[in-house]
């Protein structure tokens, strides 16, 4: 697996470094995590890595297109390595859990704008909001 990650970095002209590999591994194994979680996951392998190093790696990987930054309204930014397929997300209003949702209809950009105002649309971002199965199965406090 590490060889695949190294090839991904080289393909976008980024040097292969231990922090970059650690961040990509963390995001591959834990999609939709916030920066603090990425730092904790990376520090499990590289205890001396700084916060700033992880921020810099996330920025470089996002700019290179290897990582996608998502930020649902009212939530911290999250990161994932599933890129290039214009998928969407469903977010739990209660606990903040996020899951991937494949393209809404057809090929990218998945939706046709009612008025594109002359733009050449190549991507659509859709966030579905609701309550996840875990939260919806919990009984409200005070009810038995």
List binding-site positions for Zn(2+): 92, 95, 132, 135
Q: Which residues are annotated as a binding site?
A: 92, 95, 132, 135
Say which residues have a Cβ less than 8 Å from residue 115's Cβ, sequence separation at least 6: none
Distance CA 62, CA 59 (A): 5
Distance CA 83, CA 61 (A): 11
- The position carrying tokens 């090839």 is 7
């Amino acid at each position: 697996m590490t060889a695949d990650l190294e090839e991904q970095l080289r393909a976008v002209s980024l040097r292969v470094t231990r922090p970059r590999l650690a961040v990509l591994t963390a995001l591959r194994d834990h999609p939709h995590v916030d920066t603090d979680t990425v730092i904790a996951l990376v520090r499990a392998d590289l205890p001396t890595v700084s916060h700033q190093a992880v921020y810099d790696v996330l920025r470089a990987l996002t700019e290179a297109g290897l990582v996608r930054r998502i930020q649902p309204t009212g939530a911290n930014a999250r990161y994932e390595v599933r890129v290039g397929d214009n998928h969407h997300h469903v977010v739990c209003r209660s606990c903040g859990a996020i899951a991937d949702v494949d393209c809404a209809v057809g090929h990218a950009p998945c939706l046709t704008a009612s008025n594109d105002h002359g733009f050449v649309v190549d991507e659509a971002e859709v966030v579905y909001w609701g309550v996840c199965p875990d939260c919806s199965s919990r009984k409200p406090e005070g009810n038995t």
